Structure 1
Amino acid sequence: MDIKNTLNDELLAQDFAGDEYSHLYLARYKQMASTYAEIENSIAVLSDIGSSQSYIYYGGVGEVLGLALQGDSLVIDSIWEENIFCRIHPDDLLKKHTHELQFLHFLKNISAKERGNYYLAEWLRMCDENGVYYSVLHRMFYVISPNSGNIRLALCLYNLTGEFSAENMIVNSVNGCRTDIDTHDCSDLLSLREKEVLTLIGKGKSSKEIACDLSISIHTINRHRQNILQKLHVNNSAQAFSIAHELHLL
């Protein structure tokens, strides 16, 4: 999934060389994740971005969905819990990755000191082993390294809920303020010129026509096209236009 690839690359591109005490953070948050699974009956997933490993702890939700017995745990060599993703409605999975990319860009625009105050809350549809869908509240917390300001760990919690909400929010856990993730501006992902080019591509214009409209060379237009594809991690302009709309870039 292209959005997921973009998010993956941005997270793994961080320099973890300055995270001297990462093993201490990991031990502490593994215990927290296990406790969430026990007390809230969550499926709790702790992803160590530096080592590309995830630790999954199953509460009662895991048993209801037929994923694992309550109290089970699992270690995987990835920061993506694909065994859980396959139970999320495909439309919701795309939105989930899109929201997480938006959340990451939201955090990049505030100070490292404040980043740990925020989490993402969104509603998903997840099915059990018989294909019956349930409403699930997914919460995602990034753990910020105090040494480097890197996002070192990601904690995801999946809980069954009796209601489904269309609201997907970035929440400040200190003061309770909420930001609607679906209307959040992450416009810095593409430059102004790249947005202009992509908008004209979406209108079906050729590179020659775009060059004429913007009074720049075809060579420059083609360079912008390549930059857009690389930044959005897509294979063609149609996919780029679609994802740009998902991220509210245009």
Structure 2
Amino acid sequence: MVDTNKRVFWHFTFKDILTILCSAAIPIALAIYTAIGSQQQKREAEKTRQFDLEQAEKLRQQTLYDEFINNIFKLDNYGYLKEKKNPWAFANAYYRAAHLEWDTIHKAYVLQFLKEKQLIGRNNCTNGCRTTNLDDIIRLNELSFDNVHLASQTGVLNQLDLECVSFDQVSMSDAVFSFASLNGVSFDGGRLDNVKFDGSSLLCASFNGVNLSGADFGNSNLTGAHFSNSDLSGAKITEDQINQASFDNVIRGVSR
């Protein structure tokens, strides 16, 4: 005899099956929807966190910059930037401490500020060659300016004044000089691999013991520039520029 209860148990209608499937599908769909929503919330939270971090870093950079400017003005008011205070220990201590924290944008801003206030590039280089012998109040030697972009705000209209600045023993890998006046500048002992000079003036500039591999001199003026004991392998330099400058014991292997 067949068990009636068993027959009833296994006797499902299509409606019963559909009801069971729908009952199971709803929690699954809710779980999927919840998971997708959770991932979106995580992505949005991460974007917000990144934005907040970027804003905090911008504020920190600006604060460091403002504090340095204020410290320099205080030193000036107290007479610590006068010639008799050479070697200007306080000014250099403030600068080097802040330099370690600045991003490349603020490093460029500060260089322009220092030049405008005659704290660097103090020699008279209007004709491209040094005519005086003044020490820079702020020393840039042995610092890193990698990836710094120094550019004139008006392009070809007015060149950025960096004349006679001493960039001795600095690292400026992948740096860019756009429409800058670098007349009389010294890069002696520096690392300038892959540096780019775009529309700049390098009258009487000095490159002694410099790594310039991969450098690009663009359409810059090299009249009177002197290269000695330097690596110019792979550098982009034209025949006219070669004729403008002088070379002594350099690795030429250049790309023209």
TM-score of the two chains, using structure 1 as the length reference: 0.27
- Higher strand fraction (1 or 2): 1
Larger Rg: 2
| Larger relative contact order, structure 1 or 2 (CA cutoff 8 Å, min sep 6) | 1
